[in-house]
Structure formats: C-alpha cells, structure tokens
Amino acid sequence: MYDINLMHYGFRRRANKVDSLQNRNFYVEQIDDYLNEALNSYVNELLKVAEYNKSVDDSLQVLLKTDTLLPIGDVTAKIVKATLPVDYLRHVRSYSKASAECCGIVQDIKHYRIQGDDENAYIEDPLYKPSYLYRETGYRIVGNTLRILKGELDIQQVFMDYYAKHPRLGNPDNARTGAYNLADGTPAVQQSLLFTNPKQADIIMDLAVLASYVDTNNPADQNQVSKMTSMGSQ
C-alpha cells in the first residue's frame, strides 16, 4: 500500500514544478478528486490491454477477486440471473456449479460470452446451447446482473473472478476541519493506494497534476497521457 499522505506530498511537489500551478493553494478535497480521477484513468487504460499483456495483468492483481460467490436472483426456464458485486469493475471469468436431469452429479460449467442480445438463438442452437455434457453455457452482463443461459442445466451456484473497483482515495484527516463530505453527502474515508509499486503511484500522481493543469490551461496533448499510463505496464 502506498500512503495517501505521500501521494498528496508528491502531487504538491509536482504541481510546484509547473509554472501555472506554482504556489496554488490546492485543498485536500481537490487533491483527492484529482488523484481519484487519475487512478480511474490509469486503471481503465490498463484494463484495455490486461487480457493480452501479462505484465499489465500482474500489475492489476491487487484488484483481482477470485471465486466470488454471486447471489442468484430470478430463475426462469431459460435464464439464471446472478447479481454482480457492488465493487464489480471488469469480468475476468465466471462459472456455475450445476447438475442436469440426465445426471444429478454437480459439475463445474464454464461460461462463454455470447454476442448481442439474442439469447434464444444460443439456447436453441445445438452447437451453442447450454450443455452439461460439454460443461459449458453462455452468459452476458446486463446492468448489475450476470445472465446465464440455463437450458437443461440445474444451476445451483455461480462464481466469478473479476477486477474490483479501487476504493476511493481519500485524505480527510488532513482536511481543514479533519473531515469532509463527498458530493452525495457521505463522509470521505481515509484510504491509501492499494498498489504497492512506487512507479504506479508516480504515474497516478503525474496524471493527477496533468488533470489539474488541463483545468487551468489549454488541454494537454493526449499523447502525454497515453505515454504516462503506458509506463505502468512496464
């Protein structure tokens, strides 16, 4: 974990090197906002290539949650609906534990992603329909729900590996009154960066300062943003 106080110090130090930001009095609340904006941009950029780049995938491991049991909601003859975790960010893989009328033994059924929204076509297609024999079925994500094709399967449990949202960075302990509320009225929580690699923290602080610069000047070149975010995968 990289301490949030160090990130505030790093932000101010970097800002003081930028002519238009020198001696500007950033409040704790503002720095937290910029750091969170930068964190979200950084994570989203990494997620775009994590599936194809092992080093990027490794750098996101702190956000990976595995074999998470999802609560099952509505069940119809065709679909089983499981609720996504509140901190869900990106699907990595999912699977069900299910039996079938032909066999009462519960087996792991892997999920494959279906294209589009024509679930009936997949359920009726002999090559793609849910299959206990081949231990596979289709899924798609709609809103906060994982929709799993049921067919002949008696799905009893649903599990998912996923990237979770990073908790909101916050340093309310150092605010003017020792606390502050977010825009929705909830109190800000003291939260450091979960990433332990100082290089990742450096990139996030750089991006945060760049965001503050964009707010007060002409938009920076997008290539500069891409260059800094790409450093996180090295």
Give φ, ψ of 161 to 5 degrees.
-100, 130
Residues of the chain with pLDDT under 70: 23, 217-234
What is the predicted pLDDT for the residue at 222? 47
Spatial distance between the Cα atoms of 110 and 128, rounded to a whole number of angstroms = 13
Question: Could you give the C-alpha distances from 176 to 12, 28, 172, 173, in angstroms and in order?
Answer: 16, 8, 8, 9
Q: How many degrees, rounded to 5, is the angle at CA 223 between CA 220 and CA 227? A: 115
Q: Half-sphere exposure (CA, 13 Å, Cβ side) for 19? A: 1
CB 62 within 8 A of CB 46: no
**What element of type H or E holds 38?**
helix 28-49
pLDDT tens sequence across 36-45: 999 999 999 9
pTM of the model: 0.85
What is the predicted pLDDT for the residue at 221? 43
Beta bridge partners of 153: 100
Spatial distance between the Cα atoms of 67 and 210, rounded to a whole number of angstroms = 37
- Chain-centroid distance of CA 65 in Å reads 10
Spatial distance between the Cα atoms of 204 and 32, rounded to a whole number of angstroms = 12
- Chain-centroid distance of CA 182 in Å reads 21
What is the predicted pLDDT for the residue at 195? 94
Q: Half-sphere exposure (CA, 13 Å, Cβ side) for 82? A: 24
Q: Residues 185-193: contacts with CB within 8 Å, 24+ apart?
A: 188/29, 188/32, 190/4, 191/4, 191/167, 192/1, 192/2, 192/3, 192/4, 192/7, 193/1, 193/2, 193/3, 193/4, 193/7, 193/39, 193/166, 193/169
Which DSSP state fits 2?
A: B
